[in-house]
């Protein structure tokens, strides 16, 4: 009978130990899950801050580009307006990079922008060419800035 009592006590102690171990393991798992959740939240906050900074940098870059474009347009108005490109040259330049059928409704694809008075010949002036070049460079700078910002965000999100 003493053996039976000792066995019962041993089973009670074992059950209490097992319950304590399970309880301890659940606590460890809960702490690990809480730490992982806090790490995810911290990472999300950090990414938002980085994204906000990148957006601000991009907005600053766009402001600078637009100011430069405005300055260029001001200087372009001071150009002579002399003939610069023939109709054939302007047509070739207008078709580079253009999608087929993407010409503006007001101007057929491949035609230069100006007409000489009384001659019917079409040509592009130095003002037209400078304006297009300035606009191209400004748009290129905008897209380049956007791509660099996207690459920076992705690099921060997925470090090598």
Contact between 32 and 24 under an 8 Å Cβ cutoff? The reply is no
pLDDT in tens, 63-114: 898 888 888 888 888 888 888 888 787 777 777 777 765 555 445 444 455 5
For residue 38, CA distances in Å to 25, 26, 33, 35, 74 come to 20, 18, 9, 5, 54
Cα–Cα distances in Å, from 142 out to 22, 38, 60, 74, 137?
A: 59, 37, 11, 20, 9
pLDDT bin (cut points 50, 70, 90) of residue 49 is confident
DSSP 3-state of 78: coil
Side-chain-side CA neighbours of residue 56 (13 Å)? 6
Determine the distance from the C-alpha atom of residue 140 to the mean position of all C-alpha atoms in its chain, rounded to a whole number: 14
For position 55, what pLDDT does the model report?
Answer: 82
């Amino acid at each position: 009978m003493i053996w039976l009592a000792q066995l019962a006590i041993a089973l009670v102690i074992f059950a209490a130990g097992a319950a304590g171990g399970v309880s301890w393991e659940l606590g460890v798992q809960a702490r690990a899950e809480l730490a992982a959740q806090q790490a995810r939240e911290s990472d999300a906050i950090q990414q938002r801050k980085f994204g906000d900074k990148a957006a601000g940098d991009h907005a600053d870059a766009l402001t600078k580009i637009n100011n430069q474009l405005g300055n260029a347009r001001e200087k372009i108005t001071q150009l002579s307006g002399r003939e610069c490109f023939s109709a054939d040259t302007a047509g070739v330049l207008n078709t580079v990079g253009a999608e087929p059928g993407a010409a503006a409704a007001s101007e057929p694809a491949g035609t230069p922008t100006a007409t000489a008075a009384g001659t019917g010949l079409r040509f592009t002036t130095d003002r037209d060419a400078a304006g297009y070049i300035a606009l191209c460079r400004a748009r290129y700078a905008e897209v380049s800035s956007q791509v660099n910002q996207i690459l920076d965000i992705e690099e921060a999100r997925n470090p090598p």
